[in-house]
Structure 1
């Protein structure tokens, strides 16, 4: 039952936003009593935190499946971007911003977990990219990993990037190209531009 609650809550939070969805809404959607939810999660804050970690873990599992394919690191970045964007439903309701504004403790806990997972993914991608000649030798891997994380967090700021003007998938697309052009070799740039062209078609 706990996993069913988490899956339903995750779907509703990402669709309608953390603030908008109530415990009553989740109970009604599942056809259960609110008391059943409270048996597993004593407060909405605890459900929000558990759901956030649940979503991150599911995304991480999907990313690991993509990484196991050992494709060229630039293509890997694009596949991860598409997977994350699809899994977060385009973030039309700005759940990241709502989490930060209304559930700051959950946001800070999640932020640390996100960096831990992204660091593992990014370091592996960059090191393989350097070895295969797609990324420049001598680039500061730790710095790039951290600045990438800061950028990914930054583009979720709906005050800086209003959702009326910037869709999240488009922001991810812009940011990924910006990131890759900064670290790619000529070989990498050629692969990047081929991927951009094929996506546009």
Structure 2
């Protein structure tokens, strides 16, 4: 097998394990066993586990960025973009272990730095652009401060990963994410925007993506 194919196979396999079980609980032995390769093969392609973690999350975030850009490209207005992003987010969080971000923050500083860069460079700019667009369209309240609500939105995303705030034995992760998303939307929309958003929510996920 070519080196590039082996490398991609390792990253894809590790990503599946991390998304399902979290990062800290998965060892190099677990990755090697899951992929039916030797640990020697892993170390031929990656320096250590943190190297794998960092590259996996860089690829995952690049995929998230492509989804965000596609939602913006296809959307007919700011509300439509939010509906499309909501569909993508729901799909992503249903596949995600809630310990991911806090594992990165505590144990994998390089991967955490990748997330922080993505959050500031891509997520913040996407939210702020959407809010400015929504205000210009009359779908968001004109008095909304785009910078403040964009920072607030990013902070709320991270809070949902905190098991102390939303214990997993009491709250479903996906439901928490979607409740907070709706709270953000209803906090910025005008009456016109509210009606439009609720109309968009009537579509099934595939209809939103394909319409």
TM-score by length of 2: 0.84
For structure 2, which runs of at least 5 residues remain unmatched after alignment? 1-5, 205-211
CA distance in 2, matches of 1:193, 1:6: 39
User: Any idea what SS the aligned residue of 1:136 has?
Assistant: coil
- The alignment yields a C-alpha RMSD, in angstroms, of 2.0
Say whether 1:189 aligns with 2:172.
no
User: Any idea what SS the aligned residue of 1:8 has?
Assistant: helix
- For the 8 Å contact 2:98–2:173, the answer to whether it is kept is no
Q: Which residue of 1 aligns with 2:155?
A: 150
CA distance in 2, matches of 1:14, 1:155: 16
CA distance in 1, matches of 2:183, 2:92: 22
CA distance in 1, matches of 2:56, 2:190: 40
Q: Which string of whole-angstrom CA distances, capped at 9 and with x for unpartnered residues, describes residues 33-65 of structure 1?
A: 211211221111121122111111111112211
Corresponding residue pairs, total: 199
- For the 8 Å contact 2:83–2:197, the answer to whether it is kept is no
Poorly superposed stretches of 4+, deviation over 6 Å? none
Deviation at 1:105, TM superposition (A): 4.7
Q: Which residue of 2 aligns with 1:55?
A: 60
TM-score by length of 1: 0.88
Say whether 1:2 aligns with 2:7.
yes
Q: Which residue of 1 aligns with 2:145?
A: 140
Deviates more, 1:130-139 or 1:181-190: 130-139
CA distance in 2, matches of 1:72, 1:198: 16
